[in-house]
Amino acid sequence: MSSNPAHEVRPLLPRLGEGRDGGPPLAQADHRALRFLTAGSVDDGKSTLIGRLLYDSRAILADQLDTLEKKAAGAPIDLSLLTDGLEAEREQGITIDVAYRYFATKKRKFIIADAPGHEQYTRNMVTAAAGSDAAVVLVDITKLDTAAKPLPLLAQTRRHALLAHLLRVPSIVFAVNKIDAVEHPAQAFAAVRDALLDFAERAGITVAEIIPVSALRGDNVTQPLDADWYSGPSLLQVLESLPPTQERKDGDLLIPVQYVAREGEGTGNQPRTLWGRVAHGRLKAGDAVQLFPSGQVATVAEVRLAGEAVDVVEAGQSAGVVLDRQLDVSRGDWIATPNTVHETQRFSATLAWLDTEPAAIGRKYWVRHGNRWVQARITGIESTLDIHTLEANGAHQLAVNEIGQVTIETQQPLPVEAYESNRIGGSLIIVDPTSNRTSGALLVKATI
């Protein structure tokens, strides 16, 4: 095994349309698809729901269906088995963080990230959320005491909704599952809905929709719920109508360099092309750019999408940039509008800690910003968020699954931005140098 964490750890921000580490970006085919993740507690029914969406939208291959039907021997098929391959991979540890599934309706293409519900997998949920347009948080209604006032929600429901909110997933949908298994669905759903709305309001979470579903029976997933007490949309109708993520296309440009295609690579004797997903802004031939950390300036000779020269590239696209001169640029550098980037070695951040080894002040970690790795230390831990009361309590360390406010010092200056203004420029992952595990996700608040 290599000791370079870059080879061991999956990126925090897996973006479709981008190639794997070291490879050129893929075509833009999936660009318009809605990326969403399913989250929730263990056994809330995430895999069954995904199976149901794939099954009802006919996205399942005939041979897969054959196998499932044989297995069921006449009984209704177990749709969660459609993600079975994934289950096995998870047991091997960190080889697969999140499994992606694809399906399409007449209206839209979808990419689903299935994040396991167990607490120890919260970091997978964070990975999935960071690149998603929407989060569907499942709530198992059979696990809740719907007669209690106030109705207590599960810790994982709160945590996952909070994380999706902190990671600025644009739309958060609650799917209240197993509605088939409660005696008085109308009253039970109303009670859960009120509890979710109350929690969301206190946490400052904007809820896109709260809907009842039965993933098992397929009620209100793609087919409307046949009940006199509900006349709202089905899950699929909600997903088809959610707005796409608004990328900031105006103003200054920022691109993390993911891959440098060397001279002569690809067709003909091309000059070097710098590939990366545009974090914000747009770029065309003739524009001036500045590179970081070198600070060198150049003029853009050509911009490309999927290997073809185009007039302009913009936020959200995986773009190729050819400069008018040969500069020393490598993976991990940033391309920006000249004089717009402020590099810093100290910043405050929200830290979602995901490792069983607590976050410790003063210890050396690796952090990854864009595609660049540097060493860093946590210089202060100010507080941790109580996910039940939503209060910030004073703290000196962060245990697994805790969310806190921290200060960070990096060994080299980084062009960080506030996470609020940009998800790519404002996020870093923390990697433990001894275990090589992704230990936390940092969301930058301000430079200090």
Binding site for ligand GTP (CB under 6 A): 40, 42-48, 80, 116-118, 177-178, 180-181, 214-216
Q: Which does 178 bind (CB under 5 to 8 A by kind): ligand GTP, Mg ion, none?
A: ligand GTP
**Looking at beta carbons only, is 117 or 320 nearer to ligand GTP?**
117
Q: How far apart are CA 293 and CA 289, in angstroms?
A: 13
Closest-approach residue to ligand GTP (CB): 117
Distance of CA 119 to the CA centre of its chain: 17
Q: Which does 431 bind (CB under 5 to 8 A by kind): Mg ion, ligand GTP, none?
A: none
* φ/ψ of residue 190, rounded to 5: -60, -40
Closest-approach residue to Mg ion (CB): 47
Q: Which does 181 bind (CB under 5 to 8 A by kind): Mg ion, ligand GTP, none?
A: ligand GTP
- Minimal distance in Å, beta carbon 120 to Mg ion? 14
* Contacting Mg ion within 39-68 (CB under 5 A): 46-47
- Minimal distance in Å, beta carbon 86 to Mg ion? 8
Neighbouring residues of 435: CB distance < 8 A, sequence distance ≥ 6: 355, 357
- Minimal distance in Å, beta carbon 38 to Mg ion? 8
CA distance to 66, 68, 372, per residue, from 71 (Å): 9, 5, 47
**Looking at beta carbons only, is 124 or 317 nearer to ligand GTP?**
124
- Minimal distance in Å, beta carbon 159 to ligand GTP? 13
Q: How far apart are CA 162 and CA 430, in angstroms?
A: 20
- Minimal distance in Å, beta carbon 78 to ligand GTP? 7
- Minimal distance in Å, beta carbon 384 to Mg ion? 29
- Minimal distance in Å, beta carbon 12 to ligand GTP? 21
β-strands 134-140, 34-40 pairing = parallel
Burial 161-185, CB ≥16 within 10 A → b, else e: bbbbbbbbbbbbbbbbbbbbebeeb
Q: How far apart are CA 312 and CA 337, in angstroms?
A: 15
**Looking at beta carbons only, is 116 or 332 nearer to ligand GTP?**
116
**Looking at beta carbons only, is 112 or 300 nearer to Mg ion?**
112
CB 354 within 8 A of CB 440: yes
Tokens 């995430």 sit on residue:
46
**Looking at beta carbons only, is 215 or 257 nearer to ligand GTP?**
215
Q: If you count them, how many residues does the chain have?
A: 448
Q: Which does 43 bind (CB under 5 to 8 A by kind): Mg ion, ligand GTP, none?
A: ligand GTP
Q: Which does 197 bind (CB under 5 to 8 A by kind): ligand GTP, Mg ion, none?
A: none
Q: Which does 139 bind (CB under 5 to 8 A by kind): Mg ion, ligand GTP, none?
A: none
Q: Which does 44 bind (CB under 5 to 8 A by kind): Mg ion, ligand GTP, none?
A: ligand GTP
* φ/ψ of residue 345, rounded to 5: -110, -5
**Looking at beta carbons only, is 42 or 197 nearer to Mg ion?**
42
Half-sphere exposure of 20 (CA within 13 A, CB side): 4
- The burial class, CB within 10 Å (0-12 / 13-18 / 19+), for 389 is exposed
- Minimal distance in Å, beta carbon 317 to ligand GTP? 33
DSSP string, 383-419: EEE-TTT--EEE-S-B-TT-EEEEEEEEEEEE----T
Q: Which does 215 bind (CB under 5 to 8 A by kind): ligand GTP, Mg ion, none?
A: ligand GTP
**CA neighbor of 24 nearest in space, from 304, 282, 374:** 304
Alpha helices in 227-368 (DSSP H): 235-241
CB 366 within 8 A of CB 376: yes
Stretch 394-413: interaction string toward Mg ion, x if CB under 5 A: --------------------
Q: Which does 132 bind (CB under 5 to 8 A by kind): Mg ion, ligand GTP, none?
A: none
- Minimal distance in Å, beta carbon 117 to Mg ion? 7
Establish if 38 lies at the interface with Mg ion (CB under 5 A): no
Q: Which residues bind Mg ion (CB under 5 A)?
A: 46-47
